[in-house]
Structure 1
Amino acid sequence: MISKENIIKRFIGYVTIDTESDPTSNTTPSTAKQWDLANKLAEELKAIGMSDVSIDENAYIMATLPSNVSHKTPTIGFIAHFDTSPDFTGANINPQIIEQYNGKDIVLNEAENIILSPDYFEDLHQYKGQTLITTDGTTLLGADDKAGITEIVSAMEYLINHPEIKHGTIKVGFTPDEEIGRGAHKFDVEKFGADWAYTMDGSQIGELEYENFNAAGAVVKIKGKIVHPGYAKGKMINSMYIAQEFINSLPRIETPEHTEDYQGFFHLSSIKGEVEETVLQYIIRDHDFGHFEARKAVMENLTIELNEQYGWDVISIEIKDQYFNMREKIEPVMHIVDIAEEAMKQLHIEPIIKPIRGGTDGSQLSYKGLPCPNIFAGGHNFHGRYEYVPVESMIKATEVICKIAEITSKNQNK
């Protein structure tokens, strides 16, 4: 049995270390504080008995659990990231443990009247009677993806302590800066040496994903002209009004709050504006590559149209691709998804196979030659004050890792 107490202790030990990443930084990792957990993880992997533990100059951590069978088996890997999202503060996290959750409202912060309610977050209903770990309402929790790290380390420790469970060679990898889209940028796939891997970075119990968004980021800059407002007639050009025109020209219902499943979107994530210049930050997402390319074209054509309307280059746009749908790389090796699905079924977990409305390290790794589907880590409501994780889900995810290793060891063909 996976120890519930050890899972809780390990997870809280990780989340109370601030590892928020920074998209404005050019270093890897993007914040120095990520080293605090990275170094701790490297030492912990050594302490539990892992081999070939390494941490490179960019804080990428790798380790090996040698095979305990005599025949040749595929080498598999498990990967998670240790940074947390810059969308919400990860400093001074104060986790709360809710034993035997009663299915009612959870007061996260009485002073600020912050409530985690099943009336709004309906997924809570399925965890009645379980142990939940929540925030105190003032920070995120960091289950994305410290739950995944907890599960991988705990699974390796369990396999080391239970040699009767047969497995082939297992590789472990932990990355920085996944939350800002750079988690796999400097990941050395050749050094890792796995035939395939799984990211433990999904949400609710049972999730198994091998499709994700195609993704791009767009920076739209609108120029204006500032003059004294008392003498502005015919002279002032207010960039913020033109920005509003650009925003309103995109399909209003094709935004995150109006889309689901395979539906793509344009997401305005940031506005910084003054009369002289306004800068819009967008992310563009779509599972279908043709639709993805069309979305980028819509924004580029809108820029051209508005520039023609105003008679000069009032708007400029820069679009950069970020990652692509890993389905193309997974479908030729679908047996790796089948193994994960079988592992869940053997553990009486109902697999939930669906597309990721986001991205994971696994997407970029798949395009770098390491096919890498995504498995649930158990958390909910990532990147904000309402984040929580059921401990029982983390235990089940740990068991899934062990079971995948066991099933794969019976497959003597790569």
Structure 2
Amino acid sequence: HAGSVYAFVNAAEHMKAALDLLISDEERPRRAELLHRLSDIYIYTGRPDKAIEAGLASAALWRDLGSDVKQAEAYLHVSFCCHWQGKEIDAVKHIQRALKCIENRPEQIALLARVNAQWGLAATVMGEPLLAREKLQQADILHSSVGGADAFIAVVSLWSLSWCAFLTESPGQMLAYALRGAQVCSTSHKPEWEPMMDYSAAWACMQLGQLAEGQRLAQEALLKAQQHGVVGAQGWANLVQAFLAIQAGQWEEAEKSAASAYAIATMLHDADMQARVLWSRSVCAGWRDDWQRAIDDIKAALAMARKDGETSMVFPHLLVQAAKAHFFAGKLAEAQHYLDEAMQYAQSRHYRQLPALGQRLQGRIWEAQGRFVEAQPCFEHSLAELLALDDQVEYARTQEA
């Protein structure tokens, strides 16, 4: 499977050689097309900076050539490249540029559907599930009206819906969307897209307590990503493997997977992925009762997550982990501070599972302070919400608390 990676790298070299030859005015459309394809290859081989550079060069050429539609397509591609670095603020800026290109082209329904799907994707990763669903619904209506045959829109939408389900619905719904997405990848002959769905399904399995199935899916995601030379997906697959290994008590495996994910995240300049790896290390340290290390790792994760002014969907999850680490280290005032921030953030964005977990931790903090009367309703609220979400794993943990 190294072959496909070398094939990508070789193709990139040939394209760069061809670009050097396409210098006359009449060759500009071919040059713009080639830059777009080169950008595509850079994304797969884990060079998003190069991908963005080539994509923007393509957009500039199409602008000079007066092709609004091609320019919009190029900007959407650049937006997708930004997504692979976790730079969703930039991704949205390029989506808005694409929209501006086609504002006087009402017949471009398929392109408008793609605009909305990618906006839904960005909103999902930024932890804005209501906006995400609104954009994804709009994409679905537009996409259906032109035949619904664009596999990219279908896959991006299902991936986004699966993570919206993680934030605001149930682990079962998250799994259902991810498996549907994997099916679409398979039927539309896009095996290189499948790892993103497999790792999402693996995460849902972990939430459902199905560790063996989660580990199988994560391993499958990693193998497929390696086979097709999709570097970013390898990082995410390793990250999920780290979390699954922690749940299974396999500390060495967890550290190995986390190190692989961190190396890829660093290569991609993806602060979101880096923050999530640090989160996994904090969780692992907690399971091993090393609460000072858990505090250090989660503080590093929060600093990383705040980089570039981005906020990731898991930002409040990091805050809850910080609260938990401080609680178990006996630092109740700090724990309360982090928990308040997490609850405010999660409730303002209509998260469901996380506030239920926050209620449980609030109960434990108040218990530790001897405020038993106030603690009891927290546990009851947590249990009721987790029952409504059919979250059996966290429900059982709350009963133990």
Q: Fold conserved (TM > 0.5)?
A: no
Normalised by the length of structure 1, the TM-score is 0.22
Normalised by the length of structure 2, the TM-score is 0.23
* Greater helix share, structure number: 2
Computing the radius of gyration over CA atoms, which structure comes out larger, 1 or 2? 1
